[in-house]
Structure 1
């Protein structure tokens, strides 16, 4: 067996994909840990960094974090396009096409990164001198910081393409083996820099070095999974496909944050900036639950891309099991969020927030409950190569949302915004589900599985019983909290016993055993 044949066998072995609950749950848990762990590091370290740097320098550091963390929005969707087309090639067995796809994407990302870095260098004097209100003593330090940040742009963009290869091959263990420490270092390195006596440019240089290390780590792991990548091989013929897919992804990526920023602007305009706080804070609390469906989406998107390239019918299980797992996880969150909204706000933020934000918190809990399920058809649509459908829907829903806010805010205040968000979320979920149904040719029962009726009846029944019990409570006591907790536990127990099949139960046991063994 010659060298090329051996490498091809390695590729097939490393990228062989089995559609299973084990794969879905294990990789989703990897992604969940990858999102939660850095947040916890940030919660612990940020107070010390603020005290050590001071408010002005910390403000500049926060801008650096924005550039490092969110600049991938401006990669024209090429990171996700890489994941899509590499997964599709692996699904078809066309492993010889993978190097062409990856190196073409990397080349484009490097060019875009260099252009972005050049623009950032060019506008830095204007940003520091005119736009940002920086104390005179920090102007030179701020300029050096932004010049260093310009070097990070190509590093961040190229990293998304190399990371996309691992995602396409379902190697989320490797993705998070890099992501978790690097994201944690983003918060830890400022403390290291302060201990060493560095100023802000030195701290940013440390973070940049860590990001360069991440890029090299992703590339090294890519070579482990697909040895053929050692040979540089781009193809200009792939540019149109990558840009077409990535362009539509970019539209959706941009419109999403616009919804959030626009609703806050409308609240400040119709009501007041002070009132905005009573919406923004509960929103920021409950919106954290999206890390659950987004962790699942990161797994489902390349899986759909892999599967639909071979057989649309094989994608059926990718709807049913994730839907079951989301019901299992999200219903308890819905119950706790709606039943104990008042107590959560009162304990954390005080009685004023509980009086003004409880109803908003409850409606937003329902919003994000339904929003979680929209990630399933969203992953299917993008995995099937139709990101334009979601982008066009977003473009349509944006003016509808503005119109609803314009009508409801003067009538209902903050509750009007939350209700507008709920209506738009429900329409989005229904439209995406309909699109996926038409695209794949499945019936609703085929998409959601044979157990869908039993799962929905159980979820709705337990939710209604819990909410009805809450309505008779004036001030929940410890006994009442225990009773609601018992409802939640009963729901989880009955769901496992009556809805989940033997395959689901085996998946849970295997994944838990795997994670426990990794910790020992």
Structure 2
């Protein structure tokens, strides 16, 4: 038996304390592995990004950003199968049916191999129409754009079947292996690109290094899953048309959501490049990516949520899904809040010192808008979307994302020529709060038959109340003359913001049970360090 449960006097089924403790410990460990990868990504982004921007210049950095935004559109051909694989593999793993797991993997891999051909064709088409994506660029920039699309797009297509195994690792909750795969990709890509720029190479050579990094990460994922599932047997005879149809039925809603997310995240740079020069793509994408580095810790928790919810539902533990989702959303908002407070006050000085006055002028005003809307729409609700995926109740969420993406594209086309990047940031941000911040929360509550107001207040009220004294302190410090003009000031204020907010939120936002889990984990892992220090002494 995976879990034990008992029924209270009012008929409510709840998990017994030992099972809850085991799940909390396993869940917490998985999140820590994900955060390790995120921390490395943040460090790499902070150190390498300004170097790449300065070496490439505004126009070529904009082209670099645009190419990888367009590459994301190739996931159109996934049709939601990666999400379906995670759901089905996690389900059959929980039911201890390895033969069914093999059928899912063989069928999904067969589909992925076919999709790889579509990837290749789409890359060639995109490269041939560079004048559409960069109507105001010169011939040199267009040639570099075409070459970079061909190099990366063709390689992405060829490696698409290998990426399939990352979804399998997700289903098996092997986040240590996923982190190793991700970190290998990051290190090869970032160190390689920086080295190439140092020795005078350009965008095409950087594209080759990115491809090599992606290949290394995918190979690690394949071997890691093989070690996690020794019963793996890939057979063409195991490919099931009926299973593919069932996975397609689940995946089609994920497909709509995935395509909508692509339009939401990658649509703005494409539209900006159509109306403005490539430099404006970089101005928009820099603060977007800075926040993406920070919020990635939140989305990584969501990956853990999805497979856990699928497992809980398979074993009849639906009662625990609501509380888990609400608390995880609160914790993610809590984790992200210090970054929002800091960027509201010192965002523009940070960009000026980190990148350049040019980017401070064009990107700085976007940071407060993006930070607040990302907090509400992404950090505070990402786990709700993951829970809906895990329960296979994400069809309406997918439609909502589609409406948001279409409205965003139309809004950007109307707003951008008149109100510039600030208008674009407001358009994207307001729509995201209405859809992913409120509508997704309502869908989650409807699926679980719980109170919408209770859910939303349980997520946001405590983190926001905790942030106000910290925000007031930073504003007072800035008014006193500390403007964030030096690195010691910027780093010191960031550390101060985090320490004060997290110290307060440990008591205001974290439940007593989870405080105990965290303290037990710290005590357990601190003891070996103390013994090592004593032995060294």
What TM bracket, shorter-length normalisation?
0.7 to 0.9
Q: Does the 8 Å CA contact 2:41/2:183 hold for their aligned counterparts?
A: yes
Name the stretch that deviates more: 456-465 or 34-43.
Answer: 34-43
From 258, 261, 279, the counterpart of 2:263: 258
Report what 2:319 is aligned to: 313
Pair 1:86 & 2:93 matched = no
Q: Report the CA distance shift for 1:472/1:33 in structure 2 as closer, same or farther (over 3 A).
A: closer
2: distance between equivalents of 1:275 and 1:50?
13
Q: Does the 8 Å CA contact 1:128/1:142 hold for their aligned counterparts?
A: no
Q: CA deviation at 1:436?
A: 0.8
Q: CA deviation at 1:495?
A: 2.5
Q: Does the 8 Å CA contact 2:62/2:282 hold for their aligned counterparts?
A: no
Residues 76-475 of structure 1 mapped to structure 2, 5 A cutoff: 76-117=79-120, 146=150, 150=154, 152-155=156-159, 157-188=160-191, 211-212=214-215, 214-230=217-233, 232=235, 233-260=238-265, 262-263=267-268, 281-311=286-316, 312-348=318-354, 360-371=366-377, 372-401=379-408, 414-428=421-435, 429-444=437-452, 458-468=462-472, 475=479
Secondary structure at the counterpart of residue 318 of structure 1? helix
Q: Does the 8 Å CA contact 1:82/1:242 hold for their aligned counterparts?
A: yes
Report what 1:11 is aligned to: none
Report what 1:34 is aligned to: 37
Report what 2:507 is aligned to: 497
Q: CA deviation at 1:173?
A: 0.5
> For the aligned residues, what is the CA RMSD?
5.1
1: distance between equivalents of 2:423 and 2:131?
41
Q: Report the CA distance shift for 1:202/1:289 in structure 2 as closer, same or farther (over 3 A).
A: closer
2: distance between equivalents of 1:323 and 1:67?
30
Q: CA deviation at 1:281?
A: 4.2
Q: Report the CA distance shift for 1:69/1:36 in structure 2 as closer, same or farther (over 3 A).
A: farther
Name the stretch that deviates more: 313-322 or 483-492.
Answer: 483-492
Aligned residues: 496
Name the stretch that deviates more: 406-415 or 438-447.
Answer: 406-415
Q: CA deviation at 1:170?
A: 0.8
TM-score, with structure 2 as normaliser: 0.73
Q: CA deviation at 1:103?
A: 0.9
Give the unaligned 5+ runs of structure 2: 1-18, 533-537
1: distance between equivalents of 2:110 and 2:527?
40
Q: Does the 8 Å CA contact 1:408/1:416 hold for their aligned counterparts?
A: yes
Report what 1:13 is aligned to: none
Name the stretch that deviates more: 41-50 or 290-299.
Answer: 41-50
2: distance between equivalents of 1:351 and 1:119?
38
Secondary structure at the counterpart of residue 477 of structure 1? coil
Q: Report the CA distance shift for 1:161/1:470 in structure 2 as closer, same or farther (over 3 A).
A: closer
1: distance between equivalents of 2:279 and 2:199?
40
Q: Does the 8 Å CA contact 1:323/1:373 hold for their aligned counterparts?
A: yes
1: distance between equivalents of 2:202 and 2:426?
47
Secondary structure at the counterpart of residue 340 of structure 1? helix
Q: CA deviation at 1:329?
A: 1.1
Name the stretch that deviates more: 317-326 or 98-107.
Answer: 317-326
Give the unaligned 5+ runs of structure 1: 1-15
